[in-house]
Amino acid sequence: MVYKSPAAKKNSSNYHNIYDALQVEYQQAQKADPFKADMRLVDDVPRFNEAADYGELLKILHDLVACGPKAEILSPPEAWAAIRDLGFVMGPIKRRGMQPVLEVPELGHYLLELAEQAACLHPRDNVFTLTVVNPTDERRRTYTKSPSEYAFIEAVEISMVTMDRCIADICAMLQYPLHSSHFEVWAKQAAQTFQAVIDALLLVRTKVDRDWFANIFTRNLEQIEINGQSYHGPSADQTQMLIIDWMLYGQSYPSYMAFFNSLQQHLRPLHRQIMSQHSQMHGCSVLEMMRRNYAQSLTVDAEQTDKSVQSIIRLLKRIRTFRYPHRKIAIDSFAMRDDNRQIGSGGLIPGSDLRKLIDWTEQAIAEVQTILR
């Protein structure tokens, strides 16, 4: 058994402590009802959205802004919850062809204040507020109250919590050298953890009506203007998968970094803390680390070193198993949409942008395999 140094034990525990802190942050925001408007948001918004009653939706938004608490007196989770609740009203209004901030001028400044209080770099709702910050009980916010919507939100929420855990597993793995059995154990754990993301995708395929998703749900996720600047709505491209790719191979690919930099504003401060610690301790991707250390690790324990490298290949292949059907679902969805709705809510095009993610993953697998050869 490879000796586990006190420093490795401490750092491994630290990353899983950050995971726990993220889950607490989500739960605190879920519980918050900063506008004291649970019933209006749970019942009235979907009802008026279905009826295309723009006037009543606008009245709710105006009341929330006019009677809502000042951002400065809210805790960060409460401010985040306020952004969530405003988002569930702004989406249906934008769906009816109106810019919410133009209709309620005070909204723009209020969103910016809430974002600052909540440490959000993106001053509107995103995939986090749609899922992990959304209450899980009878207080769950929705746009439509469709069974498909409940199923979709639940599946993506499972994926996001799983991604946080996978990040912690990868960070724990990196506390050990390539020739350590602990490196292999944590890499296998990361792959096992990631399986839940694939399983959640299967839930979307089996429980979410495709036509409803393509032509009703996504219309509530369009970009809005806030004080003259456009901000995209909730999208799967905003998830912690960005960090997983960034740690495993992304830092080694300038093209990936351009993609990453266009989306990283959605990540939470604790995610940025993980990235900062990774940069300070390692300064490069796992791919690059293996390139640098493989030869030296062979001199310590060749058999274990190759097992560790193989475990990274398995993890990347597990991610690849997710990427192909994810892109297929997206392409099928866009085929059902109007010609003027061929860009996703996050600003990406599934045919090309999701293909890039597949290509980067395939490239990383090939390069790690080259290390072994």
The segment with the largest mean pLDDT, out of 228-237, 244-253, 348-357, is 244-253
User: Is pLDDT larger for residue 114 or for residue 341?
Assistant: 114
The pTM of the full predicted model, rounded to 2 decimals, is 0.93
Whether the pLDDT of residue 6 is over 50: the answer is no
Mean residue pLDDT of the chain comes to 93
The pLDDT of residue 7: 46
Residue 9 has pLDDT above 60, yes or no: no
- Taking residues 74-83, what's their average pLDDT? 98
Q: For residue 10, is pLDDT > 90?
A: no
Residues forming CATH 1.20.58.480 domain(s) in the chain = 1-30+144-373
Domain 1-30+144-373 in CATH 3.40.50.300? The answer is no
| % residues pLDDT > 70 (the chain) | 94
In this predicted structure, the answer to whether residue 64 has a pLDDT above a threshold of 90 is yes
The three state secondary structure string of the chain is: CCCCCHHHHHHHHHHHHHHHHHHHHHHHHHHCCCCCCHHHHHHHHHHHHHCCCHHHHHHHHHHHHHHCCCHHHCCHHHHHHHHHHHHHHHHHHHHCCCCHHHHCCHHHHHHHHHHHHHCCCCCCCCHHHHCCCCCCCCCCCCCCCCHHHHHHHHHHHHHHHHHHHHHHHHHHHCCCCCCCHHHHHHHHHHHHHHHHHHHHHHHHHHHCCHHHHHHCHHHHHCCEEECCEEECCCCHHHCCHHHHHHHHCHHHCHHHHHHHHCCHHHCCHHHHHHHHHHHHHCCCCHHHHHHHHHHHHHHHHHHHHHHHHHHHHHHHHHHHHHHHHHHHHHHHHHHCCCCCCCCCCCCCCHHHHHHHHHHHHHHHHHHHHHHHC
The residues of the chain that CATH labels 1.20.58.1320 are 32-125
CATH assignment, 32-125? 1.20.58.1320
pLDDT tier at 337 (50, 70, 90 boundaries)? confident
* Per-residue pLDDT tens over the stretch 11-62: 556 778 999 999 999 999 999 999 999 999 999 999 999 999 999 999 999 9
pLDDT at 340: 62
| 110-169 pLDDT, tens digit each | 999 999 999 999 999 999 999 999 999 999 999 999 999 999 999 999 999 999 999 999
Provide the pLDDT for residue 373.
74
